[in-house]
Amino acid sequence: MSQVNRATLAALLAVFLLAAQAQAQEKRDGHYWRTIPETEKLDVILGFFDGMALSESLIHIVVRDNYSVCTDVIESIMAQTSKYMDNLTTAQIATGLDAFFEDPQNRNIPIYWGIWVVARQAGGDKNTQSLVKELRRAHK
């Protein structure tokens, strides 16, 4: 494995470990979402997009350097993200999350999954309700 691939994988691991540590410090789910002011909601969404941009940049490095073990999966994720996220505004996501977390059954679901649900609903995905049911089971 080349030095660049090792460095990239180390950077990815560091990002995931930091994200896990931040998640452990405060559970950012629907309960949390409902307690924060509008300005902080926008900050959370912008942070989500910053994380997505960083991940995408790191993925491009991995793919560019021919670490192609999971290229198909990565390209599929990027296509889905583009399909559902590209035309959404921060305000639309915030409003969608407010509505999504209004339902008490959705409040244990992490905000990042809530954003994905809102994006898929806005994109007309007919399988969104199945996703929500699965998320409810996974985050009781």
Domain spans of the chain? 3-138
Tokens 């999504």, residue located: 100
Report yes or no on whether pTM surpasses 0.95.
Answer: no
Residue 107 token pair: 């409040």
Q: Rounded to whole angstroms, how far apart are CA atoms 15 and 66?
A: 21
Rg of the Cα atoms in the chain: 16
List of residues 6+ apart from 60 with CB closer than 8 A: none
**Residue-level pLDDT, tens digit, the chain, 140 residues:** 555 556 665 666 666 666 655 555 579 999 999 999 999 999 999 999 999 888 878 777 766 666 666 677 777 777 888 888 888 999 999 999 999 999 999 999 999 999 999 999 999 999 999 999 999 999 99
φ, ψ of residue 108 in degrees (nearest 5): -85, -5
Going by C-alpha positions, the residue among 83, 133, 103 that lies closest to residue 29 is 103
CA 128, CA 122: separation in Å to the nearest integer? Answer: 10
Closest CA to 63 of 79, 49, 75: 75
